[in-house]
Structure 1
Amino acid sequence: RRRDFLHKLSTRLVRENQTVVIEDLTVRNLLKNGKLARAVSDASWTELRSMLEYKCAWYGRELVVIDRFFPSSKLCGACGTVAAKLPLNVRE
């Protein structure tokens, strides 16, 4: 069921978008967190990424992988300013 869902999701994402942007996460480090480990492993992020990679190449789409240290949650979408400190409750 999970693999079927990932195939349908990745196909829909690639067909509907010219560019797909994902964040490069270290899933291995996320699994060390005891509270999140089960949810992270159930998500199959590594498998989704591999499906996106080959389907983007297959359909002629662009896959952009953002570095894990890029401050995307601290970046203002309007002006591009990066905030030095930004509490988690304020981020979107």
Structure 2
Amino acid sequence: MLTSKQKSFLRSEAHHIDPIFQVGKGGVSGTMLRQIEEALEKRELIKISILQNNEDDKNEVAKALAEGTYAELVQLIGHTVILYKPSVKNKRIELPRKG
């Protein structure tokens, strides 16, 4: 579980990142979740766009993405989801200490 200080840090880190995945009309699929997990392993922090043609609630989509990839939901702002998952092999992001 991330602290508010850590989430704030990750939000600032994600500010300049472009979304690399889009959730469209088909919603969240198993294939998409596997691809997102691979991207999280390489990058640790990613943005995902929820397209206008997606009929699901954006909060539910964000929750499904986070739970499906075992990642932390850093933020849902507008139709953009920011996910964080520490990498096993490619550790790049050093989070502020808890407390």
What TM-score do the two structures reach when normalised by structure 1?
A: 0.31
Larger Rg: 1
Q: Which has the higher strand share?
A: 2
Query: Normalised by the size of structure 2, how large is the TM-score?
Result: 0.30
Q: Larger helix proportion, structure 1 or 2?
A: 1
